[in-house]
Amino acid sequence: MIRPMAERNGTSAFDLDTIVNLCKRRGFVFPSSEIYGGLGSTWDYGPYGVELKRNVKEQWWRSMVQLRDDVVGIDAAILMHPRVWEASGHLATFTDPLVDCKVCKRRFRADQLDDRDCPNNRKGCDFTPARDFNLMFKTFLGPLEDDSSVVYLRPETAQGIFVNFANVQTTSRKKLPFGIAQVGKSFRNEITPGRFVFRTREFEQMEMEFFCAPEEADRWYAYWREERRAWYERLGMRGERLRMRDHDPEELSHYSSKTVDVEYDFPWGWGELEGIAHRGDFDLTQHSEFSGKDLSYFDPAQERRFLPHVIEPAAGADRTAMAFLLDAYDEEEVRGDKRVVLHLHPLLAPVKCAVLPLSRNPDLVPSARKLADSLRQIAMIDYDDAGSIGKRYRRQDELGTPFCVTVDFDTLEDDAVTIRDRDSMAQERIPIADVGAEVLRRITQV
Ligand code: ATP
């Protein structure tokens, strides 16, 4: 059960280090290649982090594709024909202004410097003039490392959707309006990555391109702004830590006439989770021109042919997982002790239910193991018999596990177990045969 904000202790008081430490300690996120000293701002998801991020992507896919009749999915390749990036404008304009400090030799994004002071060096700096730095990672296709074999790691998943528009439309027989969704890795050679998984050079995006008639685009733009904000709140994110920020005209990307960001109140201030952009017919126009293929759509009802307009909700899976973690984190006092708890929505929680025998007594362990194995058929389960029951409850609280089931000596007599709720800590006795249905009911009722 998601407790309303008023019942939680947490304000914005928890800083990023608290979450980074929890992630390391409990196996959510580790520095990449740590035994070699790590690789700047790259991270690996551990056993609990991978479940959390999978759940974020799964909930996005459920709500954007599987629960709708007007959106279908694809999974396009990361490597694409290099002409794609000419057509999309990424080769010419996907750049950040880069400056070097001649004194400390560090590099900065010119547009992120508050004034002309080097953040590292303060007044003693000496900057080079700003030059454009393209954020796309370059590599070579095949054994020849020459200009003809240059390809790029995609900097967004969107272009894989646009180039497949005609394939998907004809094979799915979808009529406008309809969308194509994709989840996958993207790569940007960011000049200043940082703030944990907020800005990295390799990350996962969840993007959907919604194609519609030009005169309907404003209505769909309004629809998707509402729908996307509501998604975060349905999964338990606190409304007061979310805001919608419209881009100023000078901030808009070259393809967009309107963009709004869904922002979260991170410990350092507001930061983007997702952008919803009105892309007009920019992408299909460009790809028609560069590929020579007609990407227009024929509307049989109105007997007219046109290039569809596009509304794009584009979110980041890593930032979103991190925001859910920050939002769920709480420290409470329970009977004089500190309890660290993640109030994650059960659909997002890495483990749905932990099965805990009261002790390692040989009479209890087989029943508890049998119960855990049967529950694995329906959800992600932890089995834990090490240490005191109180410590095991605390460990599961810190992982955000919404329910714990305890097998005790009475179980051997009455075939019943105790189910404990993470948020209220209330315990209830239920028949062992009902545990699966009860866990499912509790996961899906919120
Ligand atoms: P920013 O302004 O923070 O660089 P953006 O506006 O360039 O982001 P988009 O191109 O709109 O981002 O990408 C959509 C989403 O992908 C972003 O809202 C974000 O969640 C995610 N994303 C973009 N760049 C990164 C990155 N370097 N690391 C992690 N996630 C990212």
pLDDT of residue 40: 87
Domains of the chain: 9-82+143-325 (3.30.930.10), 351-444 (3.40.50.800)
Is ligand 1 within 6 A of the CB of residue 190? yes
Q: How far is CA 231 from the centre of its chain?
A: 12
Q: Give the separation between CA 257 and CA 404, rounded to whole angstroms.
A: 50
Q: Letter for the amino acid at 149?
A: S
Cβ of 313 less than 6 Å from ligand 1: no
The DSSP H or E segment spanning 145 is none
Question: What is the Cα–Cα distance from 414 to 420, expressed in whole angstroms?
Answer: 18
pLDDT of the residue at 106 = 83
Q: Verify whether ligand 1 is closer than 6 Å to residue 273 (CB atom).
A: yes
- Answer whether 228 contacts ligand 1 (Cβ < 6 A): no
Positions of the chain with pLDDT lower than 50, given as ranges = 1-12
Of residues 310, 382, 307, the one with CA closest to residue 350:
382
Three-state secondary-structure class, residue 233 = helix
Q: What pLDDT is stored for residue 52 in this prediction? A: 98
User: Measured over all CA atoms, what is the biggest interatomic distance in the chain, rounded to whole angstroms?
Assistant: 79
Q: Give the Cα separation of 411 and 355 in Å (integer).
A: 13
> Which residue is it, tokens 């009529």?
175
Closest atom of ligand 1 relative to the 315 alpha carbon:
15
Ligand 1, atom nearest to 197 Cα: 29
For position 104, what pLDDT does the model report? 83
pTM: 0.93
* Secondary structure (DSSP) of 370-388: HHHHHHTTTS-EEE--SS-
Alpha helix positions (H), 208-364: 217-234, 282-291, 317-328
Residue 202 beta carbon below 6 angstroms from any ligand 1 atom? no
pLDDT on residue 13 = 54
- Is there an atom of ligand 1 within 6 Å of 274 CB? yes
Instruction: Kindly list the distances between the CA atom of residue 260 and the CA atoms of 37, 251, 275, in Å, as whole numbers in the listed order.
Output: 39, 11, 6
Q: Is the dihedral of CA 203, 228, 2, 437 positive or negative?
A: negative
